[in-house]
Amino acid sequence: MKNIGIEQISLAFGFIILLLGLWGTLTQKNIIKIVLSFTLFDTGLNIIIVAIGYLRNKTAPIIDSAELQKDTVNKVVDPLPQALVLTSIVIGVGVTALMLVYVLKLYKEKKSLIINDYKDLKW
The residues that touch other proteins, with contacts defined as CB under 8 A, are 5, 7-8, 11-12, 15, 18-19, 22-23, 26-27, 52-56, 60-64, 69, 72-74, 76, 78-80, 82-83, 86-87, 89-91, 93-95, 97-98, 100-102, 104-105, 108
Nearest Cα to Cα of residue 85 among 53, 110, 55: 53
Q: How far is the CB of 21 from other proteins (least distance, A)?
A: 11
**Distance in angstroms (rounded) separating the CA atoms of residues 100 and 83:** 26
User: Helix (H, G, I), strand (E, B), or coil: what is residue 30?
Assistant: strand
Can you state the angle between helices 31-52 and 79-110, rounded to 10 degrees? 180
**Residue number, 68 or 120, with CB nearest to other proteins:** 68
**Residue number, 104 or 117, with CB nearest to other proteins:** 104
φ, ψ of residue 115 in degrees (nearest 5): -65, -25
**Residue number, 100 or 117, with CB nearest to other proteins:** 100
Amino acid at 26: L
Which H/E stretch holds residue 107?
helix 79-110
